[in-house]
C-alpha cells in the first residue's frame, strides 16, 4: 500500500491508539506485532543570510565545526527519541544517517535523516527528531553569526515497512531531489 499526503484525512477518522477507554494517554501495545524492517526519511532546512552561509562553508564559524557537530547531534537525538517524546517506544536502531547538504539557492542547508530498524513499530519519530535536533544544533553553532536563521519545512519524506504500508510525501521529488 502506498500512501501520500492526500490520504491523510482518511486516516484521521480512525480510533486514537494513544488513548485508553477513559481518554487517558497510553503507550500502544505492540507486543503482538511482527518485527519487520522499517525505514523513515525525514527532511528539513535551515535558511540563513548569504554571509552566514559563506562563513559556514568556509569553516569560519566562531564555535567551530558547525556541520560535524549538527550531524552528530542529529544521530544522538534519534537514539534518544523515546526519552524526548513521551509515548514513543524505545527502538533498537540499526542505521541513523544524517546529511547536511549546502544549498546556495536557499541560502542555507537542507537536512536529511534516514533511520532504519527491525522492530514492531516504525521510526518516523526518530527520523523527525534527528532532523529537528540537527537543525537546532546548526542554529546554535552559528547564532553568533546570525540570530535570524529560520528552521523550516521539517517533515516526513517517506516511510517503508509495517502494517500501514509505505508512504511517500507528494513533494519528495520536487523539494528534495537528493
Contact 56, 66 (CB under 8 A): yes
Nearest to 57 by CA among 145, 129, 134, 131: 145
140 is catalytic: yes
Cβ–Cβ contacts within 10 Å for residue 137, how many?
A: 22
Establish whether 125 is an annotated binding residue.
yes
162: left (phi over 0), alpha (psi -120 to 50) or beta: left
Strands 36-47 and 166-168: unpaired
Nearest to 139 by CA among 63, 77, 58: 63
Establish whether 51 is an annotated binding residue.
no
The C-alpha atoms of residue 20 and residue 37 are separated, in whole angstroms, by 28
Q: Catalytic: which of 103, 140, 166, 171?
A: 140
C-alpha cell at 154: 521539517
Establish whether 1 is an annotated binding residue.
no
Contact 149, 48 (CB under 8 A): yes
Binding residues for substrate: 87-89, 125-126
Binding residues: 87-89, 125-126
Catalytic positions, written as ranges: 140
Amino acid at each position: 500500500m502506498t500512501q501520500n499526503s492526500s490520504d491523510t484525512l482518511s486516516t484521521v477518522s480512525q480510533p486514537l491508539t494513544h488513548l485508553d477507554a477513559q481518554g487517558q494517554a497510553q503507550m500502544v501495545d505492540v507486543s503482538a506485532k511482527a518485527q519487520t524492517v522499517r525505514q523513515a526519511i525525514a527532511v528539513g532546512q535551515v535558511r540563513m543570510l548569504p554571509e552566514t552561509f559563506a562563513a559556514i562553508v568556509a569553516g569560519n564559524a566562531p564555535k567551530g565545526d558547525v556541520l560535524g557537530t549538527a550531524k552528530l547531534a542529529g544521530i544522538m537525538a534519534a537514539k534518544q527519541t523515546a526519552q524526548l517524546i513521551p509515548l514513543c517506544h524505545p527502538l533498537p536502531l540499526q542505521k541513523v544517517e544524517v546529511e547536511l547538504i549546502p544549498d546556495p539557492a536557499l541560502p542555507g542547508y537542507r537536512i536529511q535523516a534516514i533511520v532504519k530498524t527491525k522492530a514492531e513499530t516504525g521510526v518516523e519519530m526518530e527520523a523527525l527528531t534527528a532532523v529537528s535536533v540537527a537543525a537546532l544544533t546548526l542554529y546554535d553553532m552559528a547564532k553568533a553569526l546570525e540570530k535570524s536563521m529560520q528552521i523550516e519545512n521539517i517533515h516526513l519524506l517517506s516511510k517503508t515497512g509495517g502494517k500501514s504500508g509505505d508512504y511517500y510525501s507528494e513533494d519528495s521529488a520536487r523539494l528534495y531531489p537528493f
